[in-house]
A and B are shown apart, each in its own frame.
Chain A
Amino acid sequence: MLCEKCGKNEATIRYSEIVNGKKTEMALCADCAKEMGISADPFDGFGDIFGTGSLLSNFFGNALSSPTRRSSAAERRCPVCGASMYEIQKLGKVGCAECYTTFRNELLPTIRRIHGDVKFKGASPASPVNDEAAKKARELDSLRDELSAAIKNEDFEHAAQLRDKIRELEK
């Protein structure tokens, strides 16, 4: 089936929309879907919840709302990528990592609205391994070795116990 919008490409996405209880369906190609801000890729959990950035633009909406902020922030540009706060707001995404320093005060309210908390927790480049997770990973490795040995020795009862333990840890 061809895309019902451009009529050129193969439709790979079925899009349905319910407006005031009236349902309309459309078969779309990936390009047109992207253009319309529709993502059919469930594994792209990173950016696509905010699609084309439109929803995120709403989040950013307040960042430049006060006149004083507007005059100083709107003209400032990131020294690394050259992005302005206006451009970041429009796209819903920064231009480079340095933007988070350049426009920190403007971006923080947005980040709080998204995550609720702005105190980082987790593994870092300085200590890249998450201790808890690494401990579990090491435990898994030794259990797997033990399991191989148990199977080799035909100790199936012990092997079954180990398998259950591994399953529990693997979650």
Chain B
Amino acid sequence: MSWYANSEKSCDTSVVLSSRVRLARNVSGIPMGERMSDEQARDICDRAGAVFTGFDRIDFDRLDRATAQSYAEEHLVSAEFASSTRPHTLYKNEDGDVYVMVCEEDHFRIQSITPGYSVRVAYERAAGAANAVGEAFPIAFDPELGYLTHCPTNLGTAMRASVMMFLPAMTRRGGMPQLSRQLAKLGMTVRGMYGEGSEATGCLYQISNQITLGISEDETISKLCEIVDFIIAQEQKLRGELASRAQYETADACARAYGTLTHARIMSCREFMDLWVDARLGVAMKDNLDTGIPDNVTLSLLDTALIESQPSVLTLLSGGGEMSPRERDIRRAAILRERLSEKR
């Protein structure tokens, strides 16, 4: 079960879709990145199998391009990991909340992705897997510099904690550049999930820590949560203003977006992303807005549609054969009609 499926049953995802924590670990005495030989990489990938018993093993260098790319579109692996041709393996647990990239830029990148606002739970899961790696391999560690990583930006805890946030009200009020500047001063960073900076589409942003040395895991998470709490409050306040000052205009935009999503016959990814934002906002604000979007259309249904509409996932859903962009746009519209229509 991925982070986006059935998430709202266990938590509120109207602003925070998911939380994630990633820990990097390297094995002492073995080169990293380009300096590691294919044999050394394969050896680590194989030996990791003994650590992650019960996990699915996926050798990415043996996957076809669309399947590899689909993991990146689901945000389960990095784009670099999906496209690399060297031996590299993904181990994922049965619950679908722990993913271990072996031989990415660091030997191990252990990440846990949990639905909603649950950074501590994600840390707990990732740390558990990282400890298991530490019991099986001699881990490169320095008392002054912490965990030793390929890139010095990750030294220290080698931890990146983040939340994925849906911020349509703040984006439209032009608040993102200012937020970005303020976060930078606090050692945090914001980036668009799709597209870059203020040009981000989908109004989806990842907020994460930038600094990893001189600050403990717990302090990092506390600091991140303080900032996320503040952003949630601002976004909710702005959504409240939309509901009170532009009730009909907002409801109209959300209802029209939903209507197009469920009636179009051909839809590009870009058009979809824009409509998706309004439809998701409508569902998130359904207590305050009369959008007429049926009750079976939930936030998690829309989040699943977002992933299924990405090119490689869509191609795989359609059988995996070659598709032209036009064929994909037609197929995307068909999937959306099927998934998002009213079910009685």
Contacts and interface: CB of A to CB of B under 8 A. Distances in A.
Partners in one complex: yes
Task: State which size class the interface on A falls in.
Answer: 35 or more
A43 B119 contact: no
Contact of A133 (B117, B140, B218): B218
Interface centre among A91, A101, A116, A128 (most CB of B within 10 A): A128
A109 to B, nearest CB: 11
B277 to A, nearest CB: 16
A114 B121 contact: no
A19 interface: no
B329 to A, nearest CB: 10
B156 A34 contact: no
Interface string B102-128: 000110010000000111110110010
Contacts of B153: 46-47, 49-50, 56, 114
Q: Is the interface of A mostly helix, strand, loop or mixed?
A: loop
B279 interface: no
Contacts of A47: 105, 150-151, 153-154
A46 B154 CA distance: 6
B contact patch SS: mixed
A48 B210 CA distance: 11
B145 A30 contact: no
Contacts of A83: 35
B214 interface: yes
Contacts of A15: 196
Contacts of A119: 144, 213-214
Nearest to B26: A97
A85 interface: no
Interface string B48-81: 0000000000000000000001001001001110
Contact of A100 (B30, B145, B210, B221): B145
A42 interface: yes
B330 to A, nearest CB: 15
Nearest to A80: B29
Contact of B152 (A10, A80, A107, A169): A107
B216 to A, nearest CB: 4
A38 B234 CA distance: 30
Contacts of B149: 46
Interface in A50-70: 50, 53, 56
A39 B29 contact: no
A30 B152 contact: no
B218 A130 contact: yes
Pick from B24, B32, B117, B162 the residue with the most CB of A within 10 Å.
B32
A44 B127 contact: no
Contacts of B79: 30, 33-34, 39-41, 44
A16 B201 CA distance: 12
Interface residues of B, number: 86
A11 to B, nearest CB: 9
Nearest to A60: B152
Interface stretch (B87-95, B169-177, B185-193, B245-253): B185-193
Contacts of A43: 20, 75, 78, 162, 206
Given A111-B155, A169-B120, A170-B121, A130 B11 contact: no
B154 A81 contact: no
Given A45-B22, A115-B155, A120-B144, A171 B120 contact: yes
B217 interface: yes
A92 B312 CA distance: 32
A125 interface: yes
A121 B214 contact: yes
13 contacts: A12-B311, A16-B196, A34-B80, A40-B79, A42-B192, A44-B78, A47-B150, A91-B34, A96-B32, A121-B157, A122-B157, A133-B123, A133-B124
Interface of A: 1, 10, 12, 14-16, 30-31, 33-34, 39-50, 53, 56, 80-83, 91-98, 100-101, 107, 110-111, 114-125, 128-130, 132-133, 136-137, 140, 167, 169-171
* A-B CB proximity, top 9 nearest: A117-B214, A97-B140, A120-B146, A115-B213, A44-B78, A81-B31, A41-B79, A97-B148, A132-B218
Given A56-B152, A110-B152, 11 more contacts: A42-B75, A46-B78, A50-B151, A81-B31, A115-B212, A118-B213, A122-B215, A125-B139, A128-B134, A133-B123, A171-B225
